[in-house]
Amino acid sequence: MELLLKNVQHHYGPVEVLSDITLRIPQGEIVCIIGPSGCGKSTLLRFMGGLERPSGGSVLQIGEAPASSLNPLTYIFQHFALLPWRTVEGNIRLVLEDHKLPASQMEEIVTDVLARTRLSDFRTALPKQLSGGMRQRVAIARALAVSPAVMLMDEPLSALDSQTRELLMEDLVSLWTRQPFTAVYVTHNLEEAVRLGHKIVVLSRRPGKIREIVEIDKPLAQRSNGDPDLDEKQSRLWNLMRDEAMAADLELIDD
């Protein structure tokens, strides 16, 4: 399944937030969205997930979700959104409980995603016993449990320190390399964008328009911190954004 945005625009009262966004999210790719504060990145993600409707234009799902997909679209948030009274296993089971799955199938899914996210030894732990990085791993495992056709990721690593963020980027690359998934990844962090994105969509300041789409051909597994090719891409992205980011920093934001 792919997502197709056609001429999306949006207003909050008299304020124009997004203007004429046309974008395709191809199956099996991670598409990163970057831009100045207040340019509408998170708003655009909410339209893709069906949480809000744009003032104009359309968001289309092209093709069928895989037969194994329990939720075609699934979010991963910045602040984990874990239930503190449930264990790691219990938080993952939460998203499966409404699907009336046989107990054996539910156990198989939980065991699989725990293994894929390296959480098998922590299935009985409570969120308060985990580090920030481990909590975000649980959130990723919970999203994977429903086999989404598209994962919508809203600043998923921004609440983490730089060392933990580096480890989580490696985890996401490893997960994608073993079993490619489709994702839209909103971030302010240009390093994350060039490490994880097959395509990077650069939005202008409000009203957000697509300034450029930068493609990175290097396989995810061959990208690393300090890679000169990625450093060049990161510099190019910053050059595209610098002036507008400085101007946007002086405005009130609603992103």
Tell me the per-residue pLDDT of 169-228, one tens digit each, with 9 for 90 and over: 999 999 999 889 999 999 999 999 999 999 999 999 889 999 999 999 999 999 988 889
Q: Give the separation between CA 174 and CA 199, rounded to whole angstroms.
A: 18
Strands 15-25 and 2-12: antiparallel
**Quick one: tokens of 70?**
């329990």
Q: Per CATH, which fold does 12-65+149-218+232-255 belong to?
A: Rossmann fold (3.40.50)
Reference 76, options 36, 109, 49; nearest CA is 49
Instruction: Return the pLDDT at 112.
Output: 93
19 pLDDT more than 90:
yes
64 CB-near residues (< 8 Å, 6+ apart):
1
Start and end residues for every CATH 3.40.50.300 domain found in the chain: 12-65+149-218+232-255
250 pLDDT more than 80:
no
Strands 210-215 and 56-62: unpaired
Compute the mean pLDDT over every residue in the chain, rounded to the nearest whole number.
90
Per DSSP (E only), the strands in the chain are 2-12, 15-25, 30-34, 56-62, 73-76, 150-154, 183-186, 199-203, 210-215
Section 116-137 average pLDDT: 93
- Under the banding of pLDDT at 50, 70 and 90, the label for residue 247 is low
Instruction: Return the pLDDT at 254.
Output: 47
Q: Give the separation between CA 82 and CA 94, rounded to whole angstroms.
A: 10
- Under the banding of pLDDT at 50, 70 and 90, the label for residue 240 is confident
Section 16-41 average pLDDT: 93
DSSP reduced 3-state for 180: coil
Instruction: Return the pLDDT at 68.
Output: 84
Query: pTM score, two decimals?
Result: 0.90
DSSP reduced 3-state for 145: helix
Tens digits of residue pLDDT in 154-175: 998 888 888 888 989 999 999 9
**Gyration radius (Cα) of the chain, Å:** 18
Section 17-22 average pLDDT: 95
